[in-house]
Structure 1
Amino acid sequence: MSNSAGDYTVDHAKENLEVLRAVPEQVVEAIENAADESVLNFLIREQKLDIHHEGDQGIGPLRQAVLRSPHASQELKRTVITRGDDTPSTILVPDDVERNARTSLRTGKPVVLYGPTGTGKTTFAKQLALRHCVGFSLHTATPSWTAKDIIGGIGPKLTGSTDVRSLGYETELGAVSEGVKCARDFDIPYAVILDEITRADISQIFGPLYTAIENRKQTLIETDDGETIELDEDVSIICTMNMSDRTVNELDNAITRRFAMVELDEYEGEDRRALFEGWIDDNLGDIPLISNDELLELFEADYNGINNGSEQASRGPIMRFGPMHYRDVTIFLCEALRDESLYMDAPGEAVGQAFRTFIVPRLLNSAAFPQIEQIEEHYRALNKSFETFDLSPATELASRELQAEQRQMGSYQQ
């Protein structure tokens, strides 16, 4: 390719399309020498040569060339950096939650989305990132996380041939410093999502980050080639936190003072029913084997019994539990009721198996002994109330867990 910088036009791209499809390096050169954005739009939006050469995901040399191009719009950069991302476009969280989160990000504050399981925190974090920034990275915390996973540090590196290897050391960037580098290298606003941070020791992993939040001129880390990494204003930090693990009052004051705390909790009755109705209609609308109206009422009775207490069971609320879990139930039923080898001949049992698979284990996962008793009682009562559905699989799972707990406590009687 003989074109000099700025001379490569759409006509050149059309003439050389067969070569461009065969040789990825030629596409990189075409992007670097593009006369204007129309060339990039032809190569990326129309011909999708980045997918052709680099697949559905990842940022290889071709996509890096787009991200570095002075002709690429922010929308085009978002297109290549989010290839393969399946984040839904429809935001399901309440309007005030969305407004509070977006406003907090605009103030420059890191945001923590907190609430019970099943309220859509991770999905909303990705949606928020895509509305506020061009791209994002997602990192899920583990108990072994340290400050190095957030900021970076020195790590080992093997050098040399396979016969003669020597151990050296190099600087490794952490989640936030990598995000800063990406925003800086590609001149884009970028988000770093730290998911389920209560799995880690928050005070330990965020210690150095607290200082950088207070003073954005503070160097987080220096790369091996001497580049200093500071907490750039183009980098947004979005965290999620499951409040079944920890309450806000138990958190270190350092995080609540430096982060905007946005709660995802109760969905109002009409909003919640709209979610349930939408999932049932989308996944089960053309399957006549069960009554969608009855299934909706089961969802409502189950959700209210868990969160608020129910008429069927004699006790009060069990725990805070979000509505997003019921989407998995409808997807399970969609598959189960279309196949004769699965549950086409037993639609009522399919509902019980869906609850056994997607609802009850998530309740039991964070339940103390008194709550396990309530869960077992709750599903036993629901099974009697909804005769169309066979909820015994869900009830039996809760009963086995209750018996196991009773054995440990020495109180189980056969």
Structure 2
Amino acid sequence: MMNDSEDSYSLEDVKKNLNVLREVPGRVVNAIENAAEERVLDYLIREQQLDTLHDGKRGIGQIRRAVLKSDLASEDLKRLVITRNDNTPETVLVPDEVYRNAKVALKTGKPVVLYGPTGTGKTTFAKQLALEHSIGYSLNTATPSWTAKDIIGGIGPNLSGHRLNYQTELGCVSEAVKRSEDFDIDYTVILDEITRADISKIFGPLYTAIENPQQELIETDDGEPITLKENVNIICTMNMSDRTVNELDNAITRRFAMIEVDQYSDDSRRRLFEKFIDEHIEKANSSGSPQIEESRLRELFEMDYLGINEGNDQTSQGPIMRFGPMHYEDVTKFIGESTNDPALYLDNPGEAVGQAFRTYIVPRLLNSAAFPQIERIENHYRELNDEFGEYDLTPAADLAKRELEAEQRQLGSYE
């Protein structure tokens, strides 16, 4: 039987006492801290997944913390425990130029902003960059109520116990710095959709720290100063559907590398559509449900995308708005699932296509559409409905029509 006074644990020791390790998390911590070789850690974590057993599917509990602090643990093993059950895809789908520019910017030590219209894969790409350039990352989505405290930290109330106390609370950037120091690892903090917040308001102290690396971000209650470190990457994403870089505060464009995630070549976009359809529609077709003609669906995606992003050549109208191709994966997932269930759209796959556009595409267009754009969105889907008679796209067009009527009522012009 293992005991806590043993100097080291061999692979044979932990295998022989696996039942005890499965029951007592403290023994696992002790085995990790006193492992005789790296194979012991690999056996406990990769093979037996005792971190998941005791710490749960996510988060950094005592088992994972012990691995992260271990000198024997490889970078791959540390990355495994800190990102356990992370579902970030390995395949990078953004254009090659975007990928190269972002990697170079991070290598120079610059914080990075990935900007572009909705649906271009910015958040997924940010996570992929984080996993390439660091052991772990945290993802934080901005809100309109964010302040500098959410970024840097500050003093907050501690309501535990019988009296009110105040303590230092770390922000998402200072928390990332603390984690990198605690575990001596490269770490990335992702600030997602920062245009939801007042950028000048939330980033003020961070700008100062970027300009002066020795500038203290915050001091912990233990008197430990938190300063930006070279092994902490900052990656931001922002939705630029209705804004341009010129409208941003100059402070951010001076201090961050601005990487546009926008223009997919015709070939790369079509490969994306083929990938989505192959993964989600082909599976449904092969299960015996009504066939959806994959080439025809790709044609619909292509015409929809071009109509939104480039406009209508026949009417000489320009683009409706900038809109990314990643949204169509949700459409294919919806179609694949709904046409494979007798209780849903098994007998009417064409209706499923229209409902998928109504559910995933049109609301995202309307979210940032101005009044003239809403009318064009409705007309666009009326035209597509005429072109693709096998699909019922009237729900998509009707949703835009109702939004248009609501806008007209507000303007007092609808009768």
TM-score, length-normalised on structure 1? 0.97
The alpha-carbon deviation at position 13 of structure 1 amounts to 0.5
Q: Residue in 2 aligned with 1:272? A: 269
Deviations 1:176-218 (A, max 9, x none): 0000000000011000000000011101111011111111111
The equivalences for 1:38-49 within 5 A come to 38-49=39-50
8 Å Cα contact 1:117/1:321 also seen in 2: yes
The alpha-carbon deviation at position 3 of structure 1 amounts to 5.8
Of residues 390, 394, 397, the one that matches 1:395 is 397
Deviations 1:9-65 (A, max 9, x none): 111101111100111110001001111211101110111111111221111011000
Deviations 1:369-396 (A, max 9, x none): 0000110111111111111111011011
The whole-number CA distance in structure 2 between the counterparts of 1:139 and 1:6 is 41
Q: Residue in 1 aligned with 2:55? A: 54
The equivalences for 1:14-413 within 5 A come to 14-160=15-161, 165-286=162-283, 287=285, 288-311=290-313, 315-413=317-415
The whole-number CA distance in structure 2 between the counterparts of 1:51 and 1:390 is 46
Deviations 1:224-253 (A, max 9, x none): 011110001110000000002432111111
- What amino acid maps onto 2:394 in structure 1? S
8 Å Cα contact 1:312/1:378 also seen in 2: no
The whole-number CA distance in structure 2 between the counterparts of 1:34 and 1:351 is 56
The whole-number CA distance in structure 2 between the counterparts of 1:313 and 1:407 is 27
8 Å Cα contact 2:147/2:201 also seen in 1: yes
The whole-number CA distance in structure 2 between the counterparts of 1:143 and 1:166 is 31
The whole-number CA distance in structure 2 between the counterparts of 1:159 and 1:92 is 47
The alpha-carbon deviation at position 285 of structure 1 amounts to 1.0
- What amino acid maps onto 1:295 in structure 2? L
- Taking only aligned residues, the RMSD between alpha carbons, in angstroms, comes to 1.2
Gaps of 5+ in 1: none
Q: Tell me how many residue pairs correspond in the alignment.
A: 409
8 Å Cα contact 2:22/2:50 also seen in 1: yes
- Secondary structure of the residue aligned to 2:164 is strand
- What amino acid maps onto 1:37 in structure 2? E
- What amino acid maps onto 1:51 in structure 2? T
The whole-number CA distance in structure 1 between the counterparts of 2:312 and 2:272 is 21
8 Å Cα contact 1:152/1:177 also seen in 2: yes
8 Å Cα contact 2:82/2:136 also seen in 1: yes
The whole-number CA distance in structure 1 between the counterparts of 2:348 and 2:208 is 59
8 Å Cα contact 1:10/1:39 also seen in 2: yes
- What amino acid maps onto 1:205 in structure 2? I
8 Å Cα contact 2:241/2:323 also seen in 1: no
- What amino acid maps onto 1:89 in structure 2? E
The whole-number CA distance in structure 2 between the counterparts of 1:372 and 1:382 is 16
Deviations 1:260-315 (A, max 9, x none): 00000121100000000111011111415211111000000000000001346663
The whole-number CA distance in structure 1 between the counterparts of 2:97 and 2:64 is 36
Percent identity between the two aligned chains: 69
Q: Which moved more, 1:67-76 or 1:314-323?
A: 314-323
- Secondary structure of the residue aligned to 2:159 is strand
- What amino acid maps onto 1:21 in structure 2? R
The whole-number CA distance in structure 2 between the counterparts of 1:298 and 1:311 is 17
- What amino acid maps onto 1:172 in structure 2? E
Deviations 1:337-361 (A, max 9, x none): 0011111111111110000000000
- What amino acid maps onto 1:390 in structure 2? D
- What amino acid maps onto 1:324 in structure 2? M
The whole-number CA distance in structure 1 between the counterparts of 2:276 and 2:4 is 53
The whole-number CA distance in structure 2 between the counterparts of 1:404 and 1:212 is 46
- Secondary structure of the residue aligned to 1:62 is helix
- What amino acid maps onto 1:199 in structure 2? R
The whole-number CA distance in structure 1 between the counterparts of 2:87 and 2:349 is 30
- What amino acid maps onto 1:354 in structure 2? A
The alpha-carbon deviation at position 144 of structure 1 amounts to 0.6
8 Å Cα contact 2:123/2:192 also seen in 1: yes
